[in-house]
Amino acid sequence: MKKTPTRLADGRELVYYDLRDDTVRDDPDPRPLDAVATTSEIRRDPLLGDSVAVASHRQGRTYHPPADECPLCPSAGGRHTEIPAPDYDVAVFENRFPSLAGDSGRCEVVCFTSDHDASFADLTEEQAALVLEAWTDRTAELSEQPGVEQVFCFENRGAEIGVTLGHPHGQIYAYPFTTPRTERMLDSLAAHHAGTGRNLFDDVLAREAADGERIVLDTAHWTAFVPYAAHWPYEVHLYPKRRVPDLRALDDAARAEFGGVYLELLRRFDRIFGEGEPPTPYISAWHQAPLRDPRRGGFALHLELFTVRRTSGKLKFLAGSESGMSVFINDVPPETAARRLREVAST
């Protein structure tokens, strides 16, 4: 992997990640851009104890542009985009319309490929491995920034999820706090250890392996399963078999195997609902340990992949119980979802 950091016309950072070591990235950004102005601030809810980012400047962000005006495509034919190069492997840059900025954190965009019409599932294993290296490198870089407490790498795909740009890409949020979901995991981790003396993540994996009914994929270095109490109709959790707190700690063997495992999961998601269906909308989210929490050592890096589509042509909406009280009601039994995901395995 070759890493080339540079700057866009308004001063935002852009980093190229290339498969070839001899790639040269020296294309300037000729756009007459003003410096980015943000209004992001973090407000704490006194009743729930969680944090809300207020970012009114995002109202003006780019929204469903036509393909020939995509800001994530390479610059070509006299049209200049967020990426000055005429082609790229993986590119990461500071979001022009960040939810978090300054003392409130940082947001980055990760472009997985220069091919506008592709998706992550279309990548080769080598390309997927490069994205993993980019995620890992950005985690390392952002973890060193003052005030950052947790780094979150994720992808939203599909209009049903709320994606505003169709180009295959994800994002990275560097939060100035530990997210509420992670706090709940850490509390459960501590309570389980206090009651049993064991690690909760290790016990969850052992339980799924012993049961076997919800296992979707099991390889030398990774395990993918539908959780016992899945919140979403089709939800898969992917764990490295050697527990580590974040992407930086993955060993070479797990890294080498990741591309094939992850691509297979994404391709199965696209086959869940049968031929002729549009691509399955999904969220793919890496859960990494907070940087300074004393419980960090017991946390297990894992990826959660889920879709809001519950069956052909129907979505799972977060209605009264889910949105009002955070109590999920799942229409698809986890065992049924796991069986279906095994049925659509690549041959």
Name the residues annotated as catalytic. Answer: 169
| Residue 107 marked in a binding site | no
Locate 324 and state its tokens.
């009002």
Locate 179 and state its tokens.
């997210």
- Give the 3-state secondary structure of residue 103: helix
- The span from the CA of 22 to the CA of 44, in Å, is 48
203-230: string of b/e by CB count within 10 Å (b at 16+)? ebbeebeeeeebbbbeeebbbbbbbeeb
- The span from the CA of 152 to the CA of 301, in Å, is 11
| Residue 70 marked in a binding site | yes
Query: Exposure of 232 by Cβ count < 10 A (0-12 exposed, 13-18 middle, 19+ buried)?
Result: buried
| Residue 73 marked in a binding site | yes
| Residue 116 marked in a binding site | yes
* 224 DSSP β-pair partners: 217, 238
Rounded to a whole number, what is the distance in angstroms from the first to the last CA of the chain?
31
- Binding residue ranges for Zn(2+): 70, 73, 116, 167
- Binding residue ranges: 70, 73, 116, 167
